[in-house]
């Protein structure tokens, strides 16, 4: 019997995209948070805001899927319908800057140069 070769698991934290439901490293996804006083959802670029977060790929397709399924409010456990206008505006601004082939993966400048990060061990 030959051993199965499983796909390599990504290192670091892994999250599930609320739109397409695919798993990806946390560094690739965008975090959304619910503002306490209102039912407005905002993008958390630093990924450090307090509270529960919803994760999306930085593509308009994943946002549209999440909006159509009403998955953002469920992921944030919102008691009432959420306002996602700020998120849609942020995604539209980001997509106009990026090229279509870079939608699902971010490449850092060190990776472009061929450098690898130093280990912490």
Contacts of 107 (CB under 8 A, 6+ apart): none
Q: State mean pLDDT over 64-85.
A: 94
| Rounded Cα distance, 66 and 60, in Å | 10
47 has pLDDT over 50? yes
- Per-residue pLDDT tens digits for 84-99: 999 999 998 886 655 4
52 phi and psi angles, rounded to 5 deg: -75, 145
pLDDT tens readout for residues 1-38: 556 565 566 678 999 999 999 999 999 999 999 987 78
d(CA 105, CA 95): 13
Q: Where are the domains of the chain?
A: 14-110
Query: Residue 34 — left, alpha, or beta (φ > 0 → left; ψ -120 to 50 → alpha)?
Result: beta
Residue 15 parent element (H or E)? strand 14-16
Task: Pick the closest to residue 23 from 31, 33, 15 (CA basis).
Answer: 15
What CATH number labels 14-110? 3.30.1230.10
């Amino acid at each position: 019997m030959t051993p199965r070769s499983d796909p390599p698991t990504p290192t670091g934290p892994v999250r599930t995209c609320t739109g397409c439901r695919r798993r990806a490293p946390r560094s690739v996804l965008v975090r959304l948070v619910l503002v306490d006083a209102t039912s407005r959802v905002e993008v958390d670029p630093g990924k450090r805001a307090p509270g529960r977060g919803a994760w999306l790929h930085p593509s308009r397709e994943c946002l549209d899927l999440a909006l159509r399924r009403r998955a953002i409010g469920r992921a944030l456990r919102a008691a009432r319908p959420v306002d996602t206008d700020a998120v849609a505006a942020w995604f539209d601004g980001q997509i106009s800057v990026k090229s279509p082939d870079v939608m699902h993966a971010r490449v850092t400048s060190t990776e472009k140069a061929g450098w690898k990060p130093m280990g912490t061990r």
